[in-house]
Amino acid sequence: MTQQSLRPARRLLAALTCAALCGCGGAYPASVRGVVTLDGKTLHTGTVTFHPVAGGPAAYGGIQADGTYQIATGASKGLPPGEYIVTVVATELPGNDRAGVAVGKLITPPRYGTVQQSNLRKTVQPGANDIPLDLTAK
């Protein structure tokens, strides 16, 4: 075989290697979005995190000004289907304490902020999932 006849094969091999390393768009087979409320009132800030019960990377998303969130796993859209424990942490915009350190008051009850205490367990199915998160102060 000549160098010229090997070029198409080398290009194909390079393309396949790149696809294997980079993935196909990096998206997972499930997506999650929803609205977060606390005692029936929409939250306007915070972070929602889906922790897989079976292990693996957590998926997270910020709570937008309209109370909606959308989940991503790192830089990839979506998350794998499965069982999750959900945590939600929201704080007021920080002010400064006496020493000038930025601090923010916790809006969400502390139990929603840890995997060990959160009672939010959700099942994510393949495809689009609308999962509202209704938190209570009590």
Q: Is residue 118 part of a domain?
A: yes
Q: Is residue 1 part of a domain?
A: no
C-alpha to C-alpha distance for 115 and 70, rounded to whole angstroms:
19
Q: What is the pLDDT of residue 95?
A: 64
Domain membership of residue 37 as a residue range: 26-132
C-alpha to C-alpha distance for 55 and 7, rounded to whole angstroms:
43
Q: Is residue 12 part of a domain?
A: no
Q: What is the pLDDT of residue 16?
A: 38
Q: Is residue 21 part of a domain?
A: no
Residue 90 belongs to a domain with what CATH number?
2.60.40
Q: What is the pLDDT of residue 18?
A: 40
Q: Is residue 120 part of a domain?
A: yes
Q: What is the pLDDT of residue 24?
A: 45
123, 35, 118, 138: CA torsion to nearest 10: -130
Q: What is the pLDDT of residue 61?
A: 97
Q: Is residue 19 part of a domain?
A: no
Q: What is the pLDDT of residue 103?
A: 66
The stretches in the chain having pLDDT less than 50 are 1-25
Q: What is the pLDDT of residue 94?
A: 67
Helix, strand, or coil here: 93? coil
Contact 46, 91 (CB under 8 A): yes
C-alpha to C-alpha distance for 28 and 84, rounded to whole angstroms:
15
Q: How many domains does the chain have?
A: 1
Q: Is residue 18 part of a domain?
A: no
44, 87, 123, 70: CA torsion to nearest 10: 40
Q: What is the pLDDT of residue 84?
A: 98
- Please give the model's pTM, rounded to 2 decimal places: 0.76
Q: Is residue 84 part of a domain?
A: yes
Q: What is the pLDDT of residue 97?
A: 61
